[in-house]
A and B are shown apart, each in its own frame.
Chain A
Amino acid sequence: MTAHSNYRELFDAAAQRPAARDFLPKLKIAAIEQFEAVGFPTTRDEDWHFTSVSPIAERIFRPVRSTATALTAEDIARFTYGRNDWHLLVFVNGRYEPALSSFAELDVDAQVMTFGEALKEAPELLAERLGTLAPSAHAFTALNTAFMADGVVIRVPKGVVLETPVHIVYVTDSHANGASLHPRTLVIAERGAQLTLVETFATIGGGAYFTNHVAEVVVGENARVDHYKVQREGGDAFHVGTIQATQDRNSIYHAFSFAVGAQLSRTNVYSKLLGEGCEVRLNGLYALEEAQHADHQTFVEHIAPSCSSREVYKGILDGTSHGVFNGKVYVHPEAQKTDGKQTNKALLLSEGARVDSKPQLEIFADDVKCTHGATVGQLDDMALFYMKSRGIGADRSRALLTYAFAAEVLELIELEPLKVALEALLFARFIPPDTV
């Protein structure tokens, strides 16, 4: 029996609720069939060349047992960046926990719903949009679609600005050990709408669980979406996440991916620029230690002319960790005046750490400006000397410069409380606590 056929059995065992609208079972059945057809990717697959998912494929992760959680608001507060005024949706082991969520009344005409609510209140929206951006041709996306149990739907109508950020916290506890979670996010920013979404993945004793997340983000004409993903899964956990955005004319989509967790993770951030004059920024930072493996893949598809894309990804690798960055930019023949820039830097702190970096530019238009640069290295000797020449010892100088390497990319985060919180997190990680 092959690994992926286990998922078919699990799928068949989970009876589809007859109350669910028709489109959902259809979508899910199509997805499991797709998944069966494609199976888990292997390192022979170009997009997975440096990342073997066999540790995921060879295990059977079952859906999590539904149990009342013992987690408290204080537990969740560890992951909310000191903000209790954001719209907070908390999922524990994949299940929405209203008692832990603090859902401020929306002061504008927008909808923020769990899947359960959306099925009741806006089924046509789900039917129309769900699964249209993230195709089930990707194995993990198909798996998510087949098994998604809950998630969040956000719709910001035409011209509405949702000032208060929406924060979704996915947290696991010990009940998640050995289980898989397939949360799903659907964001629709209509013409001229604006919103900021933060998605945080964290754990309190979750053990060896597998998060397989998919987010679909529709950025309408003149709309702006700021999307932050913070991956702080447990050290034994597995994480695969795919964000797929589409952008209409003159829209802005900024995504930032922060990753420090999981033994094996893969983060895909994709945007399709469908209309003229779009701006997309895909930035990210990962910090790995011990035997962690993190693979980031970005894909910007310039379909329409006069769009700009900017990418800055940085990695800090210690121990025997392995980082992978694959940044694809595809420029269609019609996408003249494309302005693309991609930078990818990795800092290796140990001899055993390794990074594979693969910028991929495929350009089929002739009037474009596209650049990419990748560097892999150690700390700058001149900078080290600068610190030491001020009397600061070698270890502390290295620590400060490592932190500075990371902080430079955190500067790109426009959501100030999140930036400050992530700076503090990295400061505590890299700067040894002492009397100074």
Chain B
Amino acid sequence: MLKIDNLIANVGDKQILKGISLSVGAGEVHAIMGPNGSGKSTLAQVIAGHPGYEVTGGSVTFENQDLLEMDAEIRAQAGIFLAFQYPVEIPGVSNAYFLRAAYNELRKARGEEEVDPMEFLDVMTEKLKIVEMTEDMLQRSVNAGFSGGEKKRNEILQMAVLDPKLAILDETDSGLDIDALRIVAEGVNKLKRPDNATIVVTHYQRLLNYIVPDYVHVLAQGRIVRSGGKELALELEERGYDWLLETAGATA
């Protein structure tokens, strides 16, 4: 589904990603872990098409299309979704309006009929249950005045509505209490299907107790320094990142 080959990306003159290679197949859950500043969030944002990063080398293909040639909105329409670490507040624009606008853009891109507000409400009623939210949520402005937990749940609600082929969760666990974490993780699990894939970007192992990965990759200094199964996350929890960084330093 997603194939990243030797990806190099910069912010200004600073190289952040220094040759990342990664393959994600349908039905898989990949966790990307690593210390602060390792390039985890950069990788997530580069895949989603953030214009602030310059890709200077390598390739990214999604379902055999060159992803790097597409604008962010085209990537979303192709089925990529990024749950933001810091969701943006949009006062004055209701969740319902925003979600329907996005939902219809995706339907248009697939050549499907757009839905009107009443039809959309039917769609929403079902999706709200996934993240244990109520309908009054729809009338509130997008993320405006939301608590940290509400913002993250709202990201998962958007994910449920937009039904992506590849979802990337960028530090979705940061700032969540245990109840919010459970709701978010269960939401993600409910949306998992054999034909979609998930990349979970996280600093801590905690989230991976709830969203069990098939593969774990450790990113350090812009490179993947170790890949393994879910047991790698437990090892990191026990030993920290330092031993891997030393290894990375030795091979750099």
Contact = CB atoms under 8 A, between A and B. Distances in A.
Contacts of A328: none
B220 interface: no
Interface string A407-432: 11011000000000001000000000
Interface centre among A383, A390, A406 (most CB of B within 10 A): A390
Contacts of B141: 404, 407
Nearest to A410: B92
A201 B145 CA distance: 33
A81 interface: no
B77 A391 contact: yes
A399 B50 CA distance: 19
Interface residues of B, number: 35
Contacts of B52: 381, 385
B114 A389 contact: no
Interface in B100-153: 100-102, 104-106, 109, 114, 141, 144
B172 to A, nearest CB: 14
A389 B92 contact: no
Nearest to B75: A389
B92 A423 contact: yes
Given A381-B52, A390-B162, A436-B114, A407 B92 contact: yes
Contacts of A435: 104, 114
A158 interface: no
Q: How large is the interface on A (under 10, 10 to 19, 20 to 34, 35 or more residues)?
A: 20 to 34
Contacts of A396: 101
A380 B88 CA distance: 10
A130 B252 CA distance: 82
B91 A407 contact: yes
Interface SS of chain A:
helix
A370 interface: no
A386 B77 CA distance: 14
B90 A400 contact: yes
Contacts of B73: 388-394, 397
Contacts of B87: 386
A404 B158 contact: no
B84 A386 contact: yes
A142 B65 CA distance: 71
B92 A404 contact: yes
A391 B106 contact: yes
B91 A411 contact: yes
B51 interface: yes
Interface centre among A391, A392, A406, A436 (most CB of B within 10 A): A391
A389 B105 contact: no
A19 interface: no
Nearest to A390: B102
Given A391-B76, A404-B92, A407-B92, A381 B51 contact: yes
Contacts of B51: 381, 385
Contacts of B77: 391
B92 A385 contact: no
A389 to B, nearest CB: 5
Nearest to B161: A390
Interface centre among B72, B104, B105, B158 (most CB of A within 10 A): B72
A392 B141 CA distance: 17
Nearest to A397: B73
B34 to A, nearest CB: 22
A423 B92 CA distance: 8
Given A381-B52, A404-B93, A392 B101 contact: yes
Interface of A: 380-383, 385-394, 396-397, 400-401, 403-404, 406-408, 410-411, 423, 435-436
23 contacts: A381-B52, A382-B86, A383-B88, A385-B45, A385-B48, A385-B51, A385-B72, A386-B84, A387-B90, A388-B76, A389-B73, A389-B75, A391-B77, A391-B105, A392-B101, A394-B71, A397-B73, A400-B93, A400-B98, A401-B90, A403-B93, A408-B91, A436-B100
Question: Which 3 interchain pairs have the tightest Cβ spacing?
Answer: A407-B92, A391-B76, A388-B72
Given A387-B88, A401-B90, 9 more contacts: A388-B49, A388-B72, A388-B76, A389-B72, A389-B73, A390-B98, A392-B102, A410-B92, A436-B100
